[in-house]
Amino acid sequence: MSQKGIVLYLHVHQPWRVSDYSIFDTASNHDYFNDQSETDRNNQKVFNKVADKSYRPMNRVLKELLDSTPDFKVSLSITGTFVEQAEKYAPDVLEDFKALVATGRVEIVAETYYHSLAFFYSREEFERQVAMHADMVKRVFGVKPTSFRNTELSYYDDIGSWAEQAGYKAVLAEGWDPILAGRTPNRPYQPPGTDSIRLLTKNYRLSDDIAFRFGNKNWEQYPLSASSYEQWLNAALNDGDIINLFMDYETFGEHQWEDTGIFEFFKSLILNWSNRSDVSFYTVTEAAESFSSAGELSMPHTVTWADSERDLSAWLGNTMQHEAMRYIYGLEHDIIRSGDMQLIGDWRKLQTSDHPYYMCTKWFHDGDVHAYFSPYDSPYDAFLYYMNAVRDVRYRLMAYHNSSHGGF
Amino acid sequence: MNILMLGWELPPHNSGGLGVACYHMSKALAMAGSSIDFVLPYKAHHPKTEFMRIHSATQLQPLHRNGMGAYDTPSTITDALHRKPTDRLTTIRDVQARYVEFVDTLVQSTKPDAIHAHDWLTIEAGIRAKEITGAPLIVHVHATEFDRAGNGYGNPIVHEIEEQGLLMADRIIAVSEITKGLIVHRYGIPADKVEVVYNALDTATLDDGYQYDHRTYKYLEFLKQEGYTVAATVTRFTLQKGLLQFMRAAAKACERYDKLVFLLAGDGEQRDELLQLSADFGIADKVFFTGFVRGQQWRDAYTVADIFVMSSVSEPFGLTALEAAHHDNALIITKQSGVGEVLSHIFRYDFWDTDKLADQLVAIATSKALQYELTENVKREYTRISWDAVAKQCMSMYATLKTGVTA
């Protein structure tokens, strides 16, 4: 019988944001991702800011903990668009991540290279992007992923069975109450129709205590100490084997700034946990292999880790978002056929789920979160610039095929 | 003949057609021998205005940049009439009060033979000048509050100012029969007090060495090569302009004929709603938004277009239609737009009739012959209306009023 433990999984991602790309740029310049302004559409500027606030300090913390405690383990998912930007803007950040993985106690989780919603539009394109991601992980980190997470933790039963067929040992999803229906998120489950793969469900209460509430001075638990939090973890383990703490890597230093004490909190938490003989740490795959399934868990409809709805409505909730995705995936056949790697790459960068996310108009419940994460003045601006970029991709495609048939 | 011209904007600091009309009318009047004092509410340089004296009532920057332009729907106006000027210049009413004060001082030293006030913005100043000097007051109506409000009622204080000006005026100029009808029926003014003087298109200004740059709208040029027809409008995105109905018609047209795209040049409070609507109708990739355009981008918007649509719910005149015609566009104009009164070779529709607009769009897009006939024939029409003729009409009106023969 394995020791109970925590499964810490952090998601590392940066999108290629589209500049103020106007109709006057369309068909004239083809660089949508090269904003040089002082706004948050300037990818280099954003990357450097987040690198200073989050990637560099948090990587230092993680490396120290890995060096000083023999059993600390963590899982990371790192998108292709992040790695591209790290290579371009801050190679030292990528070296830090490599050093983490080189300890052998950091698992890299598989996903789509472009952090896309391709699974919902094109299975073929989806598989190409997962393969691209695996190639990148092999090239950069020298490892082969054995677990899978889909963009924004979006999941339904088909993804579970797909992941098993693709050879993964674990797949991640949100531990959403209506789905669990009274069952604990703190044990591995089995997706319907699968043999061996395990479904790990996020303990969103305990994850969000850190990711969303930690620095909130209006929260009744503020300020949260590592020892109080540890007691909550202990309590949660009464009804399970593992606690799945899934969150954005940028929680540390970017969403929760350094002055909230987030880094000190995290270090204390990990050191205290590590000093105990009754509990342990697991990577995603280890957790799947160490515990038996608590039974079958079915998610017939898509569940994500976002917003109070836990669905895809932040990405595909209004007509602009649907239009944008319809146009971009509508190009798949002709784009792939072109074989033009630059064009294909730009087309794929436009698939990153952040683009439709910026077009989200449900302002009233979750809107503040969306506004905070959007580099545009409004969802309409996001849509406008994106559409012009899509048009330019069409233009380049037509120029490439040099033909007058088909749509524009 | 000394004319006190009370205006709110002049090119290049104009937010719409009011400034353009005031400029050309003043120029033509000056060429016909008038001496003109033109009062503006802001201070800026206006090139090619040596033919008249420009007075700035305040030291403010051009007003359209800070929401006090000639077309900003003044929904927040609550200050009553005849308010005293204060040190503040933060609302349009503050600026108007200062404008009245300025004109008050100005007419102490220069007595005009006629006072020509343009729209509600300058009406109070016009009344004051008339009170002081006894010179006849001509109120020139380019738009009423009913027009600016679209289908709504508009601001009651603005209505009151308009009504007072129309009553006090010795003579009223309306830019179209549509506007005259509004003045007569909604403000209760006797029809024989109102004269229709249409705006003209100054083609000389447009033929100033302008050359189309096919790179400006390169993507649209590319689509045209692929056989697409470009239907455009150049306007402010406000309720008055009927763009939501235009969008609905665009979607209907695309159902029947795929090779149509729509260029919406301009900006305004309805932009987000229009973007959303284009997605709702599933034609977001066929609708192009430029943002506010000037200079080359503005001229090229007309040139790249094949069809110009004036979709206004209420348009006293609509000079942009003539500009579009001059750039070889076939015109589709609502029956609620005054410019249609001087044109025959156009398609007309009621602003709400989206089926009809869709039909007309498809008809032109699918028939080169139809497009050619509309484009060529309308040119012969707008060249018949000139600013010189407008100046003549005004001069004879001033002369009649000066000799005391009032209507």
Please compute the mean of the pLDDT values over residues A22-29 and round it to a whole number: 94
Q: Which amino acid is at B266?
A: G
Report the half-sphere exposure of A20 (CA within 13 A, side-chain side).
10
CB B339 within 8 Å of CB B333: yes
Q: Do A320 and B222 touch (CB under 8 A)?
A: no
Chain B residues near residue A383 by CB distance under 8 angstroms: 275, 279, 284
- Give the residue on B whose Cα is nearest the Cα of A361: B276
CB B181 within 8 Å of CB B165: no
CA distances from B112 to A52, B98, B108, B400 (A): 69, 20, 10, 15
> Which residues constitute the domain of residue B286?
205-382
**Nearest Cα to Cα of residue B26 among B37, B42, B15:** B37
pLDDT score for B250:
98
CB B10 within 8 Å of CB B38: yes
Q: Do B289 and A391 touch (CB under 8 A)?
A: no
CA distances from A6 to A170, A203, A244, A253, B379 (A): 15, 10, 6, 21, 78
B162 with B23, same domain: the answer is: yes
Q: Which amino acid is at A341?
A: M
CB A195 within 8 Å of CB A176: no
- Could you report the per-residue pLDDT of B344-399, keeping only the tens digit for each? 999 999 999 999 999 999 999 999 999 999 999 998 898 888 999 999 999 999 99
- Between CA A292 and CA A238 the distance in angstroms is 16
- Could you report the per-residue pLDDT of B112-141, keeping only the tens digit for each? 999 999 999 999 999 999 999 999 999 999
- Between CA B195 and CA B183 the distance in angstroms is 11
CA B162-B164-B170 angle, to 5 degrees, is 100
Please compute the mean of the pLDDT values over residues A389-396 and round it to a whole number: 96
CA A8-A9-A13 angle, to 5 degrees, is 150
B237 with B179, same domain: the answer is: no
B388 to chain A, closest Cα gap in Å: 37
Comparing CB atoms, the residue among B218, B275, B285 nearest residue A27 is B218
A334-349 core/surface letters (b: 16 or more CB in 10 A; e: else): bbeebebeebbebbbb
Beta-carbon contacts below 8 Å between A and B? 65
- Could you report the per-residue pLDDT of A56-100, keeping only the tens digit for each? 999 999 999 999 999 999 999 999 999 999 999 999 999 999 999
- Indicate the pairing of strand B35-40 with strand B53-56: parallel
Which residue matches tokens 């007003």? B63
Partner residues linked to A270 by β-bridges: none
- Between CA B327 and CA B320 the distance in angstroms is 11
Which residue matches tokens 């393969």? A131
Decide if B309 is inside a domain: yes
Decide if B371 is inside a domain: yes
Q: Do B285 and A327 touch (CB under 8 A)?
A: yes
B110 with B255, same domain: the answer is: no
B354 with B392, same domain: the answer is: no
A58 to chain B, closest Cα gap in Å: 40
pLDDT score for A368:
56
Q: How many domains does chain B fold into? A: 2
Question: B216 in contact with A at a CB cutoff of 8 Å?
Answer: yes
Question: B275 in contact with A at a CB cutoff of 8 Å?
Answer: yes
Q: Do B276 and A380 touch (CB under 8 A)?
A: yes
B219 to chain A, closest Cα gap in Å: 5
Chain B residues near residue A390 by CB distance under 8 angstroms: 285
**Nearest Cα to Cα of residue B223 among B264, B178, B253, B261:** B261
Q: Do A391 and B285 touch (CB under 8 A)?
A: yes
B229 with B125, same domain: the answer is: no
Comparing CB atoms, the residue among A26, A320, A392 nearest residue B284 is A320
Decide if B325 is inside a domain: yes
- Between CA A162 and CA A239 the distance in angstroms is 29
Lowest mean pLDDT across B76-80, B183-187, B398-402: B76-80
CB B200 within 8 Å of CB B389: yes
Q: Do A380 and B290 touch (CB under 8 A)?
A: no
CB B217 within 8 Å of CB B304: yes
- Chain A interface test: which of B214, B215, B217, B219 (most A C-beta within 10 Å): B219
CA B204-B207-B212 angle, to 5 degrees, is 160
Decide if B182 is inside a domain: yes
Any residues with CB less than 8 A from the CB of A107 and at least 6 apart, and which?
Answer: A73, A74, A75, A76, A145, A146, A147, A283, A284, A285, A286
Q: Do B279 and A323 touch (CB under 8 A)?
A: yes
Decide if B314 is inside a domain: yes
- Between CA B395 and CA A282 the distance in angstroms is 92
Q: Do A398 and B222 touch (CB under 8 A)?
A: yes
For residue A128, the surrounding DSSP H or E stretch is helix A123-141
B285 with B350, same domain: the answer is: yes
Partner residues linked to A199 by β-bridges: A171, A189
- Between CA A127 and CA A130 the distance in angstroms is 5
Number of H helices, E strands in chain B: 15, 13
Q: Which amino acid is at B406?
A: T
pLDDT score for B63:
76
| Chain-centre distance for alpha carbon B114 | 23
Dig out the tokens for A253 from the structure: 């230093």
Partner residues linked to B140 by β-bridges: B118, B173
CB B117 within 8 Å of CB B126: yes
B286 to chain A, closest Cα gap in Å: 10
Residue A296 bears catalytic tag: no
- Could you report the per-residue pLDDT of A349-391, keeping only the tens digit for each? 999 999 999 999 886 444 455 555 789 988 999 999 999 999 9
pLDDT score for B110:
84
CB B331 within 8 Å of CB B343: yes
pLDDT score for B74:
57
Q: Do A23 and B288 touch (CB under 8 A)?
A: yes
CB A269 within 8 Å of CB A232: no
CATH number at B119 reads: 3.40.50.2000
A158 to chain B, closest Cα gap in Å: 29
Give the A-side interface with B, CB within 8 Å. 22-24, 26-28, 318-320, 322-324, 327, 361, 378, 380, 383-384, 387, 390-392, 395, 398, 404, 407-408
DSSP state, residue A53: I
Is the CA virtual torsion A226, A230, A232, A236 positive or negative?
positive
Decide if B158 is inside a domain: yes
pLDDT score for B49:
95
DSSP state, residue A309: T
B255 with B377, same domain: the answer is: yes
Indicate the average pLDDT of chain B: 92
**Nearest Cα to Cα of residue B398 among B56, B134, B113:** B113
Decide if B65 is inside a domain: yes
Partner residues linked to B288 by β-bridges: B263
pLDDT score for B122:
97
Decide if B407 is inside a domain: no
pLDDT score for B362:
95
- Between CA B157 and CA B112 the distance in angstroms is 28
Does B80 score more than 90 pLDDT? no
CB A275 within 8 Å of CB A226: no
Chain A residues near residue B223 by CB distance under 8 angstroms: 408
CB A10 within 8 Å of CB A248: yes
3-state secondary structure of A10: strand
C-beta atoms surrounding B207 within 10 Å: 9
B251 with B341, same domain: the answer is: yes
Indicate the average pLDDT of chain A: 94
- Could you report the per-residue pLDDT of A233-243, keeping only the tens digit for each? 999 999 899 99
B377 with B390, same domain: the answer is: no
Lowest mean pLDDT across B11-20, B174-183, B223-232, B274-283: B11-20
Q: Do A383 and B284 touch (CB under 8 A)?
A: yes
B194 with B210, same domain: the answer is: no
Please compute the mean of the pLDDT values over residues B57-83 and round it to a whole number: 70
- Between CA B300 and CA A111 the distance in angstroms is 46
Q: Do B284 and A392 touch (CB under 8 A)?
A: no
Question: B262 in contact with A at a CB cutoff of 8 Å?
Answer: no
Which residue matches tokens 């040992």? A169
Which residue matches tokens 């976002």? A306
Report the complex ipTM.
Answer: 0.81
Question: B291 in contact with A at a CB cutoff of 8 Å?
Answer: yes
pLDDT score for A167:
98
B149 with B211, same domain: the answer is: no
- Between CA A329 and CA A345 the distance in angstroms is 13
Q: pTM here?
A: 0.87
- Between CA A294 and CA B371 the distance in angstroms is 72
Instruction: Please pick, among A107, A152, A164, A286, the residue that the annotation labels catalytic.
Output: A152
B30 with B110, same domain: the answer is: yes
